[in-house]
Amino acid sequence: MPYRRLPNTDNARFKALKNALEKGKELPPFKLAFSQQTLQKVLSFLPAFEQAMLLQKQAYTFQVEKNKDYQETLRKAKLYISHFIQILNMAILRAELPENTRSYYGLRSYGKNVPPLNTETEILTWGQKLIDGETTRLRKGLSPITNPTVAVVKVRYEQFLDTYKFQKNLQKRNHYNLEKLASFRSKADDIILSIWNEVEKTYKDLPDDLKREKAKQYGIVYIFRKNEITKISRFETNQKEIG
């Protein structure tokens, strides 16, 4: 015997409930295969569930769209921070600046190497260290690093910082909407199960094939096991041969 497969995605849950609601509007109560009490549950629940799905989808879509801007500002910030450090190291190599210049930026332990800039935290950390270190040097009247200057680095850094904060807020909003949507799933599953049980009970005295055909009209999904599909295929083949 085939078995029922309850919806396992939000879209499938919504489709099952929507199907039941349409049947409730289409048929008079005495012809409907599930109770008016269950129909009222669908009527009161479905709008809130649909709204939760819509809000989560909007939050996710907006986050994905803004992620393009975020990735670009991250790339630029990383590029300018790396270039600033490379220019500093080349100036030291040419003896234009003393080696202890690196200590202003916390770079002494890295020598001629650029520190890792692979994560958001690393970019935020080193961007701020470069700004603070160069500001300290300029206050002492020392010659600035140029091409890029710290002012340009600061612009790119702050652009990244703004988009970083904005993206984190979008992630929080999306997470909140995901959790809210998840809180509806148990109730949705309970209502769908009630509908399907009542529908099958209504048609329980019909032959199996006809019962399933009637139940499918209410959105009930039946899955045949592999061996059952094989038997059906053989039966259909034999019927064609007989015909």
Do residues 198 and 34 touch, judged by C-beta distance below 8 A?
Answer: yes
Name the nearest CA neighbour of 195 among 7, 3, 53, 2: 7
149 vs 135, 220, 226, CA distance in Å? 11, 67, 69
Query: Position of tokens 């801007």?
Result: 69
Q: How do residues 51-83 score in pLDDT, each as one tens digit? A: 999 999 999 999 999 999 999 999 999 999 999
Q: Where are the domains of the chain?
A: 3-242
Q: What 3-state DSSP class applies to 4?
A: strand
pLDDT, mean of residues 174-181: 96
Concatenate the DSSP letters of all residues of 158-180 into one string: HHHHHHHHHHHHHHHHHHHHHHH
Query: Position of tokens 């890792």?
Result: 116
pLDDT of residue 1: 66
Residues 6+ apart with CB under 8 A from 17: 42, 45, 46, 49, 188, 191, 192
pLDDT of residue 242: 47
pTM beyond cutoff 0.85: no
Query: Position of tokens 């500001």?
Result: 135
Cα 134 to chain center, whole Å?
Answer: 40
